[in-house]
Amino acid sequence: MSVPNTRNAVQSLIDSPSSPPIASRIHPNETPPTQAQIDIVRYTWERVSEIHLEEDDPAVSATHAFGLAFYDALFKLDPSLKPLFTNIFQQARALAGMVSYIARSPKVTGPNKPRSSPSYNDGCGMSTAKLEKVPTIREINARKRKETNATTFEELVSSAAASNPKAEDNEEGDPEQLLYKLRELGARHYFYNVEPRYLALVGPAVLSALKTRLGKEFLPEVAEAWTRAHAYAAYHMKIGLESQAAWEQGRRKSASMKMNSGSSNAHHSGLKSNCVIQ
């Protein structure tokens, strides 16, 4: 499968005289989004959830429609990726759910802050986590909106971009927990036959989907915030994916060494998968 020159792909998909300039940090990047950019991502996601286009299937939610627009853009970038997916309709919904999760970045409580939540804890012996009732994106936005005089989405985005919030202001989020979730998600993508280089296509596809869904409200600050947020997410997914690949490779190597030395013992070589992310 070929990955086209991403910069060109971004330009052809998104750039037009009326489009915001595309940020250069389109590849996986470890720089986390600023608090102002996190705020903009949350405002955008709420806005995306409100916009229904004429051509939308009425049975599909607006965020689900965003997911579908994302896969449309992804397959325009590389049609050979299609066979990786079994059901795009369901997948688009899963993607929208994950974007909501990332944007909300829930807080985890407990005496020893766990690294993984129970749902993804597949027998690796990690302690279980209790997910605190976290505010929804809408609730977080409503609280922040009160601090501004903004009435429209554009005004809200401009006021967030002009503000200078400190990282500590983000008391809803838990960056460490989010980071582990992203690495686990990346590790699972190993089993979906995703190669690390495909992650560079996520940025252009996300921006294209946002442009489709937001129309005129696809502002330069929105493009910038989502570019940074997705590059950060993709960076940690890539670490998870590469760690899982390396672990699987080591497992295969050790199994074949045991076979060759004649001391193969199937039940002893049965290492558990999904324990890579420590």
Which parts of this chain interact with ligand HEM (CB under 6 A)?
81, 84-87, 91, 94-95, 98, 185, 188-189, 192, 194, 198-199, 201-202, 230, 233-234, 237
d(CA 72, CA 116): 32
> Can you tell me whether residue 130 is helix, strand or coil?
strand
Q: How far is the CB of 173 from ligand HEM (least distance, A)?
A: 17
Q: How far is the CB of 195 from ligand HEM (least distance, A)?
A: 8
d(CA 181, CA 175): 10
Query: Any idea which residue has 């070929």 for tokens?
Result: 2
Residue (194 or 255) nearer to ligand HEM, CB: 194
Closest by Cα among 199, 243, 206 to 223: 206
> For residue 95, what is the DSSP state?
H
| Side-chain half-sphere CA neighbours of 124 within 13 A | 19
Residue (159 or 244) nearer to ligand HEM, CB: 244
Chain-centre distance for alpha carbon 148:
28
d(CA 57, CA 143): 32
Query: Any idea which residue has 């590469």 for tokens?
Result: 242
- Cβ atoms of 28 and 235 closer than 8 Å: yes
5: phi then psi, degrees, rounded to nearest 5? -55, 115
Q: How far is the CB of 178 from ligand HEM (least distance, A)?
A: 12
Q: How far is the CB of 146 from ligand HEM (least distance, A)?
A: 30
Residue (192 or 264) nearer to ligand HEM, CB: 192
Residue (52 or 197) nearer to ligand HEM, CB: 197
Q: How far is the CB of 76 from ligand HEM (least distance, A)?
A: 13
Residue (40 or 199) nearer to ligand HEM, CB: 199
Q: How far is the CB of 91 from ligand HEM (least distance, A)?
A: 5
Tokens coding 110: 């407990």
Q: How far is the CB of 63 from ligand HEM (least distance, A)?
A: 13
Its sign, for the CA torsion 237, 238, 242, 243, is negative
Residue (114 or 240) nearer to ligand HEM, CB: 240
d(CA 248, CA 14): 37
Residue (189 or 211) nearer to ligand HEM, CB: 189
